[in-house]
Amino acid sequence: MDKNTGSVLPEIITEITPEIRERFLAAKINHLRNNNKKDKPSPGNIASCLPDFSKIRKQSVVAEVKEDDLYKKDEKGMVWVDECELKKKLDQEELKRHGNDPYIRLAECGFPENRKDMNFILNHDFGVQLKNVVRELKSRKWAYAFGSVGRGKTALMIRAVWELLKDRPRSKASFISMSKFIREQFKRDAEIQNCLRRGESVDYDFGEHKLRGLVLLDDFDKINFDNEFNTRTILDLINRLKDMKAYVLITAQYSISDLFTRYSSNRDTEPLFDRIRGISYILPEFKGNSFRNK
Question: Which pTM was predicted?
Answer: 0.69
Q: Which of the residue ranges 39-53, 131-145, 155-169, 219-233 would you say has the lowest mean pLDDT?
A: 39-53
Q: Single out the residue of 121, 104, 109, 46 nearest to residue 77, CA to CA.
A: 46
Mean pLDDT along residues 220-240: 92
- pLDDT category at 202 given cuts 50, 70, 90 is low
Q: What is the pLDDT of residue 56?
A: 40
pLDDT band at 157 (very low <50, low <70, confident <90, very high): very high
DSSP states of 222-234: SS-TTSHHHHHHH
How confident is the model at residue 81, as a pLDDT?
72
Predicted confidence band of residue 204 (pLDDT cuts 50, 70, 90): low
Q: What is the DSSP letter of 290?
A: -
Residue 189 confidence class, pLDDT cut points 50, 70, 90: confident
| Secondary structure class of 207 (helix, strand, coil) | strand
Task: Note the pLDDT of residue 289.
Answer: 78
Give the Cα separation of 25 and 29 in Å (integer): 6
d(CA 57, CA 80): 13
Q: Confidence class of residue 4 from pLDDT cuts 50, 70 and 90?
A: low
pLDDT score for 58: 38
pLDDT at 1 (0 to 100): 53
Q: What percentage of the chain exceeds 90 in pLDDT?
A: 49
SS3 content of the chain, % helix, strand, coil (to 5): 50, 10, 40
In the chain, the amino acid numbered 78 is: M
The pLDDT of residue 190 is: 78
Which range of 3-7, 12-16, 19-23, 243-247 scores highest in mean pLDDT? It is 243-247
The top-scoring range by mean pLDDT among 3-17, 67-81, 255-269 is 255-269
Taking the C-alpha atoms of residue 281 and residue 284, their distance in angstroms, rounded to an integer, is: 10
Confidence of residue 62 (pLDDT cuts 50, 70, 90): very low
CA dihedral 89→91→94→96, nearest 10 degrees, is: -70
Q: What is the CB-side half-sphere exposure of residue 123 using CA atoms within 13 A?
A: 7
- Please tell me the least confidently modeled range out of 59-73, 97-111, 188-202: 59-73
Please check the confidence at residue 65 and state whether its pLDDT lies above 50: no
Distance CA 181, CA 240 (A): 15
Q: What is the pLDDT of residue 221?
A: 94
CATH topology of domain 100-293: Rossmann fold (3.40.50)
Q: Count of H helices and E strands in the chain?
A: 12, 7
Give the pLDDT score at 272.
93
Helix 115-123 to helix 153-165 angle (10° resolution) is 70
pLDDT in tens, 80-139: 677 788 888 889 999 999 999 999 999 999 999 888 999 999 999 999 999 999 999 999
Question: Residue 279's pLDDT band (boundaries 50, 70, 90)?
Answer: very high
Q: What is the maximal distance between C-alpha atoms in the chain? A: 115
Enumerate the β-bridge partners of residue 144.
Answer: 250, 282
d(CA 52, CA 284): 48
Closest CA to 219 of 172, 276, 180: 180
pLDDT digits (tens, 9 = 90+) for 13-51: 445 555 666 666 666 666 666 665 554 444 444 444 444
The domain ranges of the chain are: 18-94, 100-293
**CA 234 centroid distance within chain:** 19
Element containing residue 176 per DSSP (H, E): strand 174-177
